[in-house]
Amino acid sequence: MLASYSVATTIPYLHFDRARQFYEDRLGFIPFQEMPGSVEYKCGSGTSFLLYPSQFAGTAQNTAMSFTVNDIEAEVLELQAQGIVFEEYDLPD
């Protein structure tokens, strides 16, 4: 059934210009498809995510999207150079 298909994540926003600036200028995503008030970005392995307007944007207290990368330390350094701030958690070994 659905397990063999790629996944498209949807992420809500309150301020379209701020959301686009973050995903495009800070994270380096390139718009793939634009619709009035929404924009879709392609990712690796046939995945994508869509920014859409919602009055509930910013209220979730859970992870909305994760990435699998080859070198986490290098990615973190590159993102920190773009002004991204990371939270660190003490996790059991």
Q: How many domains does the chain have?
A: 1
- Reported as a pLDDT band with limits 50, 70 and 90, residue 77 is very high
pLDDT digits (tens, 9 = 90+) for 20-59: 999 999 999 999 999 999 999 999 988 999 999 999 999 9
β-strands 48-53, 8-13 pairing? parallel
β-strands 31-35, 8-13 pairing? unpaired
Would residue 90 count as lying in a domain?
no
Would residue 45 count as lying in a domain?
yes
Write the CATH number for 69.
Answer: 3.10.180.10
Would residue 2 count as lying in a domain?
no
Q: What percent of the chain has pLDDT over 70?
A: 100
Domain range for 12 is 7-55+64-81
The helices-and-strands tally (H runs, E runs) of the chain is 2, 4
Would residue 92 count as lying in a domain?
no
Would residue 18 count as lying in a domain?
yes
